[in-house]
Each structure stands twice: as structure tokens, then as C-alpha cells.
Structure 1
Amino acid sequence: MTATVTLHRTRSAAPSWVPQLVADLMGLLAIAAVVVTTWIWARNGGLLQTFVYPEYLLESQALYTGLLSQVLMILMVLFMARIPWVEQSWGHDVLARRHKWLGYASFWLAIAHTLLFAYNRVEREPSEWAGALLHLFVTDPWMLWATIGTLLIVAVVVTSIQIARRRLRYESWHLLHLYSYLGMAFVVPHEIFDGTHFHTAWTQIFWWSLYFGSLAAVLIWRVALPLWVSWRHRLVVDEVIAETPSAFSIVLRGRRLDRLRTKSGQFFIFRFLGSPGWTRGNPYSISAAPTRDDLRITLEAGGDGAVRARNLIPGSRVLIEGPYGTMTAARRRHPKMVMLAAGVGITPFRALLEDSEYGPGEATLIYRYTNHEHAIFLAELSELAERRRIELVFLPGRRRDDGSWLPADVDGSDVDVLKTLVPDIADRDVFACGPVPWLKAVHRAAHRAGVKARDFHEEDYAW
């Protein structure tokens, strides 16, 4: 290596205080919504019915679980409304996890709400239990809609369980997932017109504010803004380039792409017009430093979306959402950094290594892949390493086991090997990207090697 790169020692700017403020306000809003919901229930007799009049206990708890289920469902939608400042502060991965757990909590509360009301009706009319359940789930005002909505939500939750998701194509799961919005819409009328906690003026203000606020957020940031950005920048497919037998890159050209303020390490959600299934968006990281006129993404040819993208014709129009993701140089706290990638997880690091600020020997890339035939960007990474004095470590071969991040032919424990490859890893920023099981193994090894949680930045390739 003979080339030397001189860099100004300015650090990447920290994230603006505005995204953090908006994210903090979002968290406070979520807590306040749950507190207010509980207070509404208590003020309308919930505490008395629970502790003083035990004959109303089941009905009271049925109402409370229903109210909590609904407010958590609204928050679940709000958290995934792609509000830019919240995305920038918390990151898409964190929001997706919170969205998932809010969804599960809302689901089980809805199941408890349903079962408690069913038991309460049967207990009141034990000799006519079939008719009582028929009235509850079908003939009572708006209850048929609520029953259909609940069944739709049950279907979405069941297909979101990991063991079920493994058997579904991403496109099928994504389509099923959209039915949760329809299910929520079917459930709402019975709460508005039949719910005892929706009839006073101030409670109506509270609930309508949540409903319309979350709806407005979705329409603004998931519909209107992406359409505006796509129209403004006019992205089209410039060329499709084969990288390996299982991966390819798409170069996109557009107008004034610098105004997107895209950072290396981020991703967009893409919809390629003119191909089947274009309505379903797919997330792809940019794999080269963004420029004023073009973006490059790199995909593995797995799944229907990637197969269709591989056959795109130059000139095809592209709709985009984003940029999203916080795994950027702005998160760095140290002059030195190490990147660990597996498979197609190399894509964001290829861009980060190109335009991040670091001196000779201050960046290390550890790249794990199954075999050389399927390794992406080997030539580009070697050229970057030569030009910018990057330490490259290639780890080909199949994984040792599900609990390890190393190939089978590497001796030593996960932690010992990591500390051997990067002795000062505890004093570096650590970036990791790849499949979820592999990421967990990397995170565990890095933690045991002394890396602080705030210095570990990750992004998983999962849905």
C-alpha cells in the first residue's frame, strides 16, 4: 500500500437536537396516552367496580383491557408512521421492535378483552350461552364489524410470529400485514357508538385526537411525502449490474439527489414502477457514497421483489421513501472504527468506508461470507483498502454454529478471535450488519470484549 490520504480531523456532526426532542416528546406522548386511558377508566367507575362492587369486576376488567388494547394499537401505528425526526433519533430498527412489542401487547389485551366479555355474558345467561355469544359477537350493534376486525388482527399477529414468517415470502407477509389497518378500522365503530368511555366531550377530544393524529401522520409521512419526494427527484433505473451469481447492483439516476441529505449507511424503501408487485415496498441500503445525480443499491437475488428488480429495464421509474437508518458516521464517538459484515450486510459499509473520515489504519473491515464466488465488492474493497489504508479481514466459509459469528475453520473462541483481530476494539466504534442470529453473536462477543453499548451500532437484515 503506497497511497496516503490526508484528512481534516473534523468529526462528523452529532445528530441535531430537534430529532431527539421530537423523539422524546413521542415517548412522553405514549406514556401520557396510557395514563390518560387508565384515568378515563378509573373516573368512569373502573376502580369502584373492581374493588367495591365485585359483581362488576369482569365487566370492568373487560373494558379496561379493551381501552388499553386500543391505545397501544394507535401508538403502534404512530411509531411506524415514519416521522422523520423520530426515525433519525431512534432509528428504524428500534422503532420496528417497539412497533412489534406494542402490537403483541395490544393483541393479548384484545384477546383478554374478548374472553372476559364472553365469560361475563355466559355467566349472566348460563342456560342461553349460545344465544348470548351470538348477540355479543354478531347481532349487537357494530359487533359483527368488531368480530371481523379482531379476526383480521389475529391473522396478522399469527403470521408475524417468527416460525410462521419463515414459511412466508416477504411479499405475502407484507400484504397480510396491511390487513391490520383494515382490522383496526372495523373495530373502531363499536368503541365510538357503543363504548361507555367515549361519550363525554373531553374523552371524545382525547380519542379523536389519537385517531386523527395517527391517521394524519401516516398520510403525511407514508403517503404524501414519499410521493412528493419521488416526483421532485424523478429517480429512474440507469443500469443493473451483476456483482456475483447471487447479488446485483442497481444504479439510479435523478435530479438534485443531494437535497435528500442521504448519508452513507442509510437505506430507502423502493417501489419499482412497471413491474409486478410494485405497490409493495422493499428496503435496500445504498452501497456507494451518494452523489448529486445517482444512488446505488445492491441486492441479493432472494425473494420475489429482488428477482423482479434484477430484470428491471433502464428508464423504469422508481418511487422512494426515506432515507432511513441511523447507522451512519454521525454516530461515531472515536477516531477509530471496526465494521463487521456478513453476506449482503456489506452494502452499507461499502458506502461508509468510501466517504467517512478516518486516517490510515483507523478503519478495519471484517467481512464474513460463505465462499469467494458469493462475496460482494471484493475488488472495490481491495481498491478502497489500498487507497485509504483500511485493514481488511476476510472470513470465508460456513458458520461454525448458530451461536457463533465465525467460520468453522477458525480456531479460538468468538471473543478471543475478535480481540486478536482488533486488539483495541474497546476503544473503537463498532458497526455490524447481517442476519439476526449472526448479529446477536457479534453483539455478544463485542460486549465481552469490552465494547460499550453506546459504541455498538447495528442493523439487521430481517423483516
Structure 2
Amino acid sequence: MTTLQSRTAPPTAIRPRVVARTGLYTLLAVNAAVVAWFFAQAGFASNTLIVLGRLAGLYGALLMAFQLLLVARLPWLDRRIGMDRLTAWHRRTGIGVVWTLLTHAVFITFGYAQESSMDPVNQLVNLAETVEGVLRALVALALLLVVGATSARWARRRLAYETWHFIHLYTYVTVVLAFTHQVAAGTTFTASPAARAYWYTVWGVALGAVFLGRLVLPLWRNLRHRLRVAAVVPESDDVVSVYVTGRDLDRLPARAGQFFLWRFLTRDRWWQANPFSLSAAPDGRTLRLTAKASGAGSASLRRIQVGTRVFAEGPYGAFTTLHRTRPESVLIAGGVGVTPIRALLEDLEGHAVVIYRVATDRDAVLYDELRDLALTKGAELHLVTGPVAPDKLAPRELVRLVPDIGDRDVFLCGPPGMMTAVLRSLADLGVPKRQIHFERFSLAG
């Protein structure tokens, strides 16, 4: 293979992911301080349990609003952090929401029971019957516990995505009920006009972000670009590429390595969205996705007719050249995970080494394209075949293929098991985490 003799200038040292993450942490910390200040301004109850319960409720509300922001799919955040990481933060924040609101309910109930000499159960019933908004809060908490239970890993594996997503939509009902409870019974609302304005702003921004990112932006982009299927090309017995065209695609902010949630508006599939990466760098005229028949949604792509209307949400993902830290790179693909890798190779500058891991030569989807593209770009291409064991991407093998791997950015995409093994190998080789780029398809409601 030929290699490039000249090296591009090193990418900027300012890491977009660090900037976005720091911004989110700062936003949460500042709001936590503001909540504490308004809480102190409202005055304290004589009962310690009630004081702690009210504070837990306020922080639960703040975390719930922050949780909405994380899954609003705002382009600025998604391009810098990635939907998979934002989803993981959303889940961890959800655990915090459940525990803070449970603490709020328990402490408030026991605190008032202590003052009234009632048992906790009767006290809770009394609060629900006499205090406006408490019954709504109890319904919201029950819904939140159901959503949380179905989001646990053991339950998530047993539920179809559509079922889980439908249940998850009740989170928005929970938000509305929790907010009306806060308006009706929250001491900060009654104690200070400034606090009321603050909480209305917090909830308005959170819900507005969801409305903008999940509804307005996808609708606007699809109305503008009017996507349609231009061609359906079988790549092998179980792999197919779909070419999509539309208006003004040069203004669609898609980058190599990103993915869309695709809805092909046929009679039997219009309601189902599937995440597929772009398998070629966007050229302003056509978008291409390549998928393997691993489920009903991907298997049906082969039957899609040319001219079928397409509704695409996105582009999503931080698996792009935006996050490069080194002038040279390694791209490691496994199976159909080659699709974003192939697109990235087209977009990358500087010398690249491509490692394509498959079971057999017949499984090497888009290999001819990769070979031609590698030749054009002056990249090295290694096709690694064979069974899973022994591990052919173990540390010793990676160093043999790429002796200077520690000085390169590593882009990785493939089946979960392979990705886990390669990440372990990279850690054993001491490749800095900031140079390792990967993304998993992970959707949040």
C-alpha cells in the first residue's frame, strides 16, 4: 500500500465533548445553587423531616427538567456528546429523580405524621384528600416508578422497543402532574414571585427543548428536504444499500459517521423508525444507508420501492471527525459496523489504517469500495478473518498491524462483544481515552 508523505496539522486541542460536558455540569450546578437559595429565602419549617422532604422535592424537580434536556436531541449537544452518552446520562439522572422524589414523599409524610400524631398511611391519605396537588403528585410518582422499572436492564431486554417507548411516553404525563403539584403546593411558588418566575423558566426551557428537538426540527427538515428513495441496491444475500435523495441536501448538516432514524412511509412500516448510519459521506445530493437483515425493519428494506417517501430524524451522533485529537488515525470495523467507518474514511485527512474484522471473506460488506477508497486516500487496509477465538484483535495483534497505534485516533464500530474486546485491548496498550472514539445505537424516549 502507498502512504501519504505529508501530514496534516494536528487537530485543535479544544475538545468539543469536554466543552459540552462542562457546560452541562455547570448549568446543573448553578441551578442547584439557585434552588438552594430560593429554598432558604422561603424559610424553614419547624420539622426537620419536612424541611428535608421539601428540599428533596425541589431537587427532584430540577433533575427531572435536566433529564428532559438530555433527551431533547438538540443538535449542538448531540454532535458534541452523542446520543448514546446523553442517553446513559439520562438513565443515571432518572435514578436520581426516582430516589429524590421517593425521599420527598416519605419525609413529607413522616414529618407531617410526627406533627399530627397520625400513622404514616392515614397521614398520606389525609394529605391527598386535603392538600391540593398531592393526589396528582402520588399518581406522578406511581407512573415514574413504572417507567423506571421498565427501563431497568432486565426488563428492557424483554420488551420490544416500541412497547418500551410507549410506556416511556408516560414520563411526559409525570412531568405535567409533578409541575402542577409544585405550583399548587410548593412553598417557593407562594413565597416569592422571583422563585415562581425561575421555576416557570426552568420547566419552559426543558419542555421547549424537547418540543424543538423532537418535533419541530424533524418536521421542518423533512418538509424542507422532501426525502425519497432513489435506488435500492443489494450488496449481498442479506445486506442492502438504500440511496435517498431530496431537495437542498447540501444544506442538511449531516457528517460522515452520523446516523438517522429512518421511517420509510410504506403501508406496513411507516410507524417504525430504525437507526442506520450513513455508509457514504454526504455529498449534498444523495444519502446512502447500508443495513444487514437482522430484524423485520432492516429485512424489509430490500422490498422498498423507488420513489417511496422517507421521514428521517437526524442527523445524530458524535462519531465524526469533529472529535479528532491526532493527525493520523486507525479505523476498526466489525461486520456491518463498517458502514460509518467507510463513510469516515472518505472524510478523513491524514494517514489512516483500516482494520476490517469479519468471520469470512463473504461477510466483508462494501469491501471493494473500502479497497478502492483506501488506494485513493493512501490508507492501509487489513481484512482480518476467522472465528471469534482466538482474539485476532488482541493487544499483540493490534500492535503488529499498527505499531504506532498509541499515537493515533482510534474510531471503532462493530458488534457489542467485539467493541468491548477491542476497547479492552486499547486500554491494555495504554491508548489514551481521549483518542478513542466509538458510539453505540442507544435510543431514549
Q: Same fold (TM over 0.5)?
A: yes
Aligned residue number for residue 119 of structure 1: 110
Change (3 A) 1:93 1:130: closer
After TM superposition, the structure 1 stretch with the greater mean CA deviation from structure 2, 377-386 or 259-268, is: 377-386
* Alpha-carbon distance between aligned partners in 2 of 1:366 and 1:225, rounded to the nearest angstrom: 37
User: Residue 439 in 1 paired to residue 430 in 2?
Assistant: no
* Cα distance in 1 for residues equivalent to 2:243 and 2:322: 25
Equivalence for 2:406: 426
Does 1 or 2 have the higher relative contact order (CA < 8 Å, sep 6+)? Answer: 2
Which of these residues, 254, 257, 261, is aligned with residue 253 of structure 2?
A: 261
Question: Are the aligned partners of 2:65 and 2:206 in contact in 1 as well (CA < 8 Å)?
Answer: yes
Partner amino acid, structure 1, of 2:133: W
Please state how far the C-alpha of 1:391 moved relative to its aligned partner.
Answer: 2.6
Question: 1:93-104 residue pairs with structure 2 within 5 A?
Answer: 93-104=84-95
Listed as ranges, the matches of 1:297-446 within 5 Å are 297-358=289-350, 362-398=351-387, 407-410=388-391, 414-446=394-426
Structure 1: unaligned runs, 5 residues or longer = 399-406
* Matches for 1:10-409 after TM superposition, within 5 Å: 10=8, 25-46=23-44, 53=46, 56-124=47-115, 129-137=120-128, 140-199=131-190, 200-276=192-268, 278-279=270-271, 281-358=273-350, 362-398=351-387, 407-409=388-390
More displaced stretch, 68-77 vs 311-320: 311-320
Residues 32-74 of structure 1, C-alpha deviation per residue, up to 9 Å, x if partnerless? 111111222233334xx5xxx5xx1111111111111110110
Aligned-pair CA distance for 1:338: 0.7
Rounded to whole Å, the distance in 2 between the matches of 1:214 and 1:98 is 16
Does the 8 A contact of 1:171 with 1:304 survive in 2? no
Contact 2:11 2:324 in 1 (8 A): no
Which ranges of structure 2 fall in alignment gaps of 5 or more residues? none
* 1:461 aligned residue (431, 438, 441): 441
Retained in 1: the 8 A contact 2:277–2:290?
yes
**Alpha-carbon separation, structure 1, partners of 2:286 and 2:237:** 24
Contact residue 52 and residue 107 of structure 2 kept, 8 A: yes
How big is each residue's C-alpha offset from its partner over 1:116-159, in whole Å with a ceiling of 9 and x where there is no partner? 23333554566655432323456642233222222222222222
In 1, Cα distance between the equivalents of 2:34 and 2:183?
17
Q: Distance in 1 between matches of 2:394 and 2:16?
A: 39
> Contact conserved, 1:58 with 1:117, CA < 8 A, in 2?
yes
* Residues 292-336 of structure 1 deviation map (CA, whole Å, 9 limit, x = unaligned): 221011223334543454543322222223222222223323332
Cα pair distance change 1:6/1:424, threshold 3 Å = closer
The code of the aligned residue for 2:163 comes to S
- SS of residue matched to 1:409: coil
Match of 2:382, as an amino acid?
V
- Whether the 8 Å CA contact 1:269–1:283 is kept in 2: the answer is yes
CA contact (8 A) 2:11 2:327 kept: no
Inter-CA distance 73–371: structure 2 relative to 1 (3 Å threshold): farther
Name the count of aligned residue pairs: 442
Q: 1:7 to 1:155 in 2, by over 3 A?
A: farther
Identity %: 36
Cα distance change of structure 1 residues 120 and 85 upon mapping to structure 2, 3 Å threshold: same
Could you tell me which amino acid in structure 1 is paired with residue 412 of structure 2?
A
Q: CA RMSD in A?
A: 3.0
| Alpha carbons of structure 1 residues 161 and 22: separation in structure 2 relative to 1, 3 Å | closer
Check 1:10–1:275 CA distance in 2 against 1; reply closer, same or farther (3 A cut): farther
Structure 1's 385 and 252: CA in aligned 2 closer, same or farther, altered over 3 A? same
Q: Deviations over 1:246-296 (max 9, x none)?
A: 433221111121111322111222233234463554332100121222101
Is this contact kept in 2: 1:138–1:147, CA < 8 A?
Answer: no
- Contact 1:343/1:369 (8 A) holds in 2: yes
